Amino acid sequence: MNTIDKPIAARKRIALVAHDNRKQGLIAWCDKHRGVLEQHQLLGTGTTGTQIEASTGMPVEKLFSGPMGGDQQLGAKICQGDVDILIFFWDPFEPMPHDPDVKALLRIAAVWNIPVACNASTADMMIHSTLMSQSFAREVPDYQGYLAARTGEITV
Ligand SMILES: O=C(CO)COP(=O)(O)O
């Protein structure tokens, strides 16, 4: 797969998601890092976003709840370039009815090369990165090239 450069802007769109057993952990993490998070734009799946907003007072754009399609909505936004960072405290101890959606979300985040944190220590390292406050280069799949090659518009 060929890639192109697509920078992530200084003001980032940060997706926040947690399974039920990890929600308190994510809320505590958001509270701890409120000073940085307030400088960015937050979105999240339905229940997670609602609880973070209620608990911290920070505005969070709320998608559908995960089991009702929220993970898939988030995946679509990542494909469209509308999400820059994913912080997803998924539960390693409980199977979920929507496990295929969870896997799909993590896969699409890998495809589009966005930073992903699945636990507090990774999220801590991410939030303390100097790149949080500046634009940085990121390689993404060359979708137009991929499509053109598949539809026979270019020969390789
Ligand atoms: O299930 C989720 C992620 O897979 C999160 O959904 P809620 O934020 O609605 O609980």
44 contacts 52 by C-beta, under 8 angstroms: yes
pLDDT attached to residue 7: 93
Is 153 within the bounds of a domain? no
pLDDT surpassing 70 at residue 156: no
pLDDT surpassing 80 at residue 16: yes
Mean pLDDT of the chain: 96
Is 3 within the bounds of a domain? no
Catalytic residues: 71
Q: What is the pLDDT of residues 71-102, one digit of tens each?
A: 999 999 999 999 999 999 999 999 999 999 99
Is 149 within the bounds of a domain? no
The enclosing domain of 30 has a CATH number of 3.40.50.1380
Our answer on whether the CB atom of 69 is closer than 6 Å to any ligand 1 atom is no
Is 106 within the bounds of a domain? yes
pLDDT attached to residue 3: 96
Please state whether 79 falls in left (phi above 0), alpha (psi between -120 and 50) or beta: alpha
State in Å: Cα 88 to ligand 1 middle.
Answer: 9
Is 104 within the bounds of a domain? yes
Nearest protein CA to atom 10 of ligand 1, as residue: 47
pLDDT attached to residue 1: 86
ipTM over 0.90: yes
Q: Domain count for the chain, please give it.
A: 1
pLDDT attached to residue 153: 74
Q: What is the pLDDT of residues 41-70, one digit of tens each?
A: 999 999 999 999 999 999 999 999 999 999
Our answer on whether the CB atom of 75 is closer than 6 Å to any ligand 1 atom is no
Is 35 within the bounds of a domain? yes
State the residue range of the domain holding 51.
Answer: 11-132
Counting Cα atoms < 13 Å in the Cβ hemisphere of 109 gives 23
d(Cα 44, Cα 49) in Å, to the nearest integer? 5
State in Å: Cα 59 to ligand 1 middle.
Answer: 18
Is 36 within the bounds of a domain? yes
Question: Candidates 43, 65, 98: which one to mutate for ligand 1, based on the most atoms within 8 Å of Cβ?
Answer: 65
Is 72 within the bounds of a domain? yes
State in Å: Cα 149 to ligand 1 middle.
Answer: 37
Q: What is the pLDDT of residues 21-49, one digit of tens each?
A: 999 999 999 999 999 999 999 999 999 99
